[in-house]
């Protein structure tokens, strides 16, 4: 899949199992939306093939579209249409839609049901977008950044709703650049970066590996060669990776020896730790390990 | 497994979808202040202003001023809805991703188009009722034979087809703001100099050109229908040709997103 000369998504091999929540995780510009829109039949792949429910999203579009639900990233409604009016309209295009009032209650749209779309907050527009995606009782829903712009409460209730969809037999495919969202919600996570899949698995599989991490942030930039010094002091069992000029990620057994070595190293380098976090590796560390960059900047 | 969200996908019958789409679009058009201004307020002002002005200046028509002006004002109303309102609404639908969103709904493209036509006809019926009522109170006495009504309906339908296809063409090639400006400008130019409201015969040497513009053809077809009860085959043919040209241009250039 390319735009002009830029290859947006390349050699992405990805299969989604029915009745699961699959997260496509990656930084902005990784090719998440392009991947989703290719599944939704908005874009024609330049090479390779896409099948959704066994169908070609472009050639069998009219058969496929009624069976899927789509939440676009922003917009997608008449600016003068009221929230519930818009949802009701989309419901009327389907054969067996959900009860609009019930859905509006569940998604928290009732307090703004008579508000024109252009005056809804970003979070309310997101919720309406999600409601429009599920109102037709689809088998598969594609949701693009479902919680972007939502407050924490709305985020949590969106997660609950997506979980309930899965439990009721809907297949959910979502994109996100929030690793906590993917980690909490997804049965399976595909991490993509610059249009390529870089890791894939259940949240447990991805974060497993037994390795603990130490994140060290210091108050002023390290002297030159300092990270290499630390690596030498810690030995082969432990990996030291500079993240920025004031922070390091140390992966390996976070035992007393390691900690003491790190503390002694701080003293000899003349730097003062601002924070020192110990923990299992999370998806952010996985991303960092593979790409050498932070997921969220 | 029967939960709240248990899948039960499917499309509503196409006729139901088109009706829902037509009603929704008509509602939005009527709710929008600027569009309502174009659809009803300006034609009514033109009607009253025209009649008062003609009586004041002493224009010499074959018929009374109100009988001359009303068919033209109805033509103006059709033009404002089918061309200007449709172009502006469609331009912003593209901009705001509405057409993209509807592309992910069961409503097929042909259904969306049919819905738009339905919405135009609904709004035009309202316009005819309001403008007709104002005209009747001002002493309008139209020709109402079956032939006159059939000729009027033919003029309105072909005029709608011609202007709607041209409106979609403009909305398809320009950005939303440029569509807004162009659609209003073209409307103003045709209202002033396009022989919509005033008969072609009032424009002297420009008649040859105006006879072949959709504005002049629709105006003349409406006047012939409602004043003389006559079908005007030539003008209806001009409208049909414009509709064909507009449809081809739109089909070649229109992008749904």
- What is the average pLDDT value for chain B, to the nearest integer? 92
For A50-88, write each residue's pLDDT tens digit: 888 989 998 998 899 999 999 998 789 999 999 999 999
State the Cα–Cα distance between residues B197 and B43, nearest whole angstrom.
Answer: 9
For B185-243, write each residue's pLDDT tens digit: 999 999 999 999 989 888 888 889 999 999 999 999 999 999 999 999 999 999 999 99
Same domain, A60 and A157: yes
- Place B6 in a pLDDT band, splitting at 50, 70 and 90: very high
Torsion of CA B222, B226, B232, B238, to 10 degrees: 0
Same domain, A199 and A129: yes
- Residues B85-89 have a mean pLDDT of 94
Same domain, A90 and A227: no
User: In which domain, by residue range, is A260 found?
Assistant: 210-280
Examine residue A101 and state whether it is found in any structural domain, yes or no.
yes
Does A169 reach chain B within 8 Å, measured CB to CB?
Answer: yes
Q: What is the pLDDT at residue A1?
A: 47
DSSP code at position A98: P
Same domain, A96 and A199: yes
Does A53 reach chain B within 8 Å, measured CB to CB?
Answer: no
Asked whether the beta carbons of A295 and A179 are under 8 A apart, the reply is yes
Same domain, A135 and A14: yes
Same domain, A41 and A106: yes
Q: From B17, which residue of chain A is nearest by alpha-carbon distance?
A: A93
Q: What is the pLDDT at residue A9?
A: 62
Name the residue facing B12 among A67, A74, A94 (closest C-beta). A94
Examine residue A165 and state whether it is found in any structural domain, yes or no.
yes
* Dihedrals phi, psi of B230, to nearest 5 degrees: -115, 145
Examine residue A291 and state whether it is found in any structural domain, yes or no.
no
- With beta carbons under 8 A apart, name residues in chain B contacting A90: 105
Q: What is the pLDDT at residue A179?
A: 84
Examine residue A293 and state whether it is found in any structural domain, yes or no.
no
Strand pairing partners for A193? A196
Name the residue facing A93 among B6, B20, B92 (closest C-beta). B20
For A152-199, write each residue's pLDDT tens digit: 888 999 999 999 999 999 999 999 988 889 988 999 999 888 888 888
More confident residue, A275 or B105: B105
State the Cα–Cα distance between residues B219 and B243, nearest whole angstrom.
Answer: 16
State the Cα–Cα distance between residues B71 and B142, nearest whole angstrom.
Answer: 9
Same domain, A199 and A239: no
Does A135 reach chain B within 8 Å, measured CB to CB?
Answer: no
B188 Cβ partners below 8 Å, 6+ apart?
Answer: none
State the Cα–Cα distance between residues A184 and A187, nearest whole angstrom.
Answer: 9
- Place B41 in a pLDDT band, splitting at 50, 70 and 90: very high
Same domain, A188 and A224: no
State the Cα–Cα distance between residues B105 and B115, nearest whole angstrom.
Answer: 14
State the Cα–Cα distance between residues A8 and B41, nearest whole angstrom.
Answer: 50
End-of-domain residue from the set A182, A205, A228: A205
State the Cα–Cα distance between residues A43 and A134, nearest whole angstrom.
Answer: 22
Number of domains composing chain A: 2
- Place A20 in a pLDDT band, splitting at 50, 70 and 90: very high
More confident residue, A4 or B161: B161
Examine residue A180 and state whether it is found in any structural domain, yes or no.
yes
End-of-domain residue from the set A159, A175, A205: A205
ipTM metric: 0.88
State the Cα–Cα distance between residues A78 and B129, nearest whole angstrom.
Answer: 27
- Residues A242-252 have a mean pLDDT of 81
Looking at residue A231, which CATH number applies to its domain?
3.30.70.1560
For A189-234, write each residue's pLDDT tens digit: 998 888 888 888 888 888 775 567 787 888 888 888 888 888 888 8
Q: What is the pLDDT at residue A7?
A: 52
Examine residue A99 and state whether it is found in any structural domain, yes or no.
yes
Of B239, B210, B83, the C-alpha closest to B151 is: B239
Same domain, A183 and A252: no
Asked whether the beta carbons of B92 and B240 are under 8 A apart, the reply is no
- Whether residue B8 and residue A96 make contact (CB cut-off 8 A), yes or no, is yes
Same domain, A177 and A216: no
Looking at residue A108, which CATH number applies to its domain?
3.40.50.300
Same domain, A184 and A258: no
Distance from CA of B110 to the nearest CA of A (A): 12
Q: From A161, which residue of chain B is nearest by alpha-carbon distance?
A: B5
Same domain, A187 and A275: no
For B25-38, write each residue's pLDDT tens digit: 999 999 988 888 88
């Amino acid at each position: 899949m390319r735009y002009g000369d830029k290859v947006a998504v390349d050699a992405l091999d990805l299969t989604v199992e029915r009745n699961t929540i699959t997260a496509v995780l990656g930084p902005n510009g990784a090719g998440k939306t392009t991947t989703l829109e290719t599944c939704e039949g908005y874009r024609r792949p330049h090479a390779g093939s896409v099948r959704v429910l066994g169908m070609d999203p472009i050639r069998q579009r009219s058969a496929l579209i009624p069976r899927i639900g789509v939440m676009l990233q922003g917009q997608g409604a008449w600016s003068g249409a009221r929230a519930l009016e818009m949802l009701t309209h989309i419901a009327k295009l389907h054969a067996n839609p959900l009860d609009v009032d019930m859905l509006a209650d569940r998604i928290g749209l009732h307090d703004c049901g008579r508000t024109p779309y252009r005056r809804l907050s970003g979070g309310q527009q997101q919720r309406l977008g999600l409601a429009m995606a599920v109102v037709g009782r689809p088998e598969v829903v594609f949701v693009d950044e479902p919680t972007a712009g939502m407050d924490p409460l709305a985020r949590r209730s969106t997660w609950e709703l997506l979980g309930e969809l899965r439990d009721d037999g809907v297949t959910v495919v979502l994109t996100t650049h929030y690793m906590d969202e993917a980690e909490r919600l997804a049965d399976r996570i595909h991490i993509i970066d610059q249009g390529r899949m870089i890791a894939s698995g259940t949240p447990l599989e991805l974060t497993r590996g037994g390795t603990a991490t130490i994140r060290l942030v210091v108050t002023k930039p390290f002297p030159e060669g300092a990270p290499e010094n630390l690596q030498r002091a810690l030995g082969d069992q432990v990996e030291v990776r500079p993240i920025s000029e004031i922070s390091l990620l140390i992966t390996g057994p976070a035992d007393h020896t390691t900690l003491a070595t790190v503390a002694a190293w701080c003293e000899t380098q003349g730097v003062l730790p601002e924070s020192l976090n110990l923990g299992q590796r999370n998806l952010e560390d996985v991303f960092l390990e593979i790409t050498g960059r932070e997921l969220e900047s | 497994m029967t939960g709240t969200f248990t899948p039960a996908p499917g499309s509503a019958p196409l006729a139901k979808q088109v009706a829902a789409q037509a009603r929704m679009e008509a509602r939005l058009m009527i709710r929008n202040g600027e569009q309502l201004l174009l659809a009803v307020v300006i034609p009514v002002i033109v009607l009253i202003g025209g009649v008062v002005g003609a009586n004041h200046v002493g224009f010499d028509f074959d018929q009374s001023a109100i009988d001359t002006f009303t068919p033209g004002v109805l033509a103006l109303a059709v033009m404002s809805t089918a061309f200007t309102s449709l172009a502006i609404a469609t331009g912003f639908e593209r901009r705001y991703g509405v057409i993209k969103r509807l592309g992910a709904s069961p409503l097929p493209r042909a259904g969306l188009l049919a819905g738009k036509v339905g919405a135009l006809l609904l709004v035009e019926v309202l316009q005819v009722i309001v403008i007709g009522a104002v005209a009747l109170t001002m002493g309008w006495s139209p020709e109402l034979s079956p032939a006159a009504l059939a000729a009027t309906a033919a003029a309105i339908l072909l005029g709608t087809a011609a202007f709607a296809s041209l409106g979609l063409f403009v909305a398809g090639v320009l950005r939303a703001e440029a569509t807004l400006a162009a659609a209003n400008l073209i409307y103003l130019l045709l209202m002033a100099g396009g022989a919509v409201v005033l008969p072609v015969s009032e424009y002297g040497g420009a008649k040859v050109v105006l006879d072949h513009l959709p504005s002049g053809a629709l105006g003349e077809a409406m006047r012939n229908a409602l004043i003389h009860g006559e079908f005007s085959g030539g003008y209806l043919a001009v409208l049909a040709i414009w509709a064909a040209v507009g449809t081809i241009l739109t089909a070649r250039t229109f992008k749904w997103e």
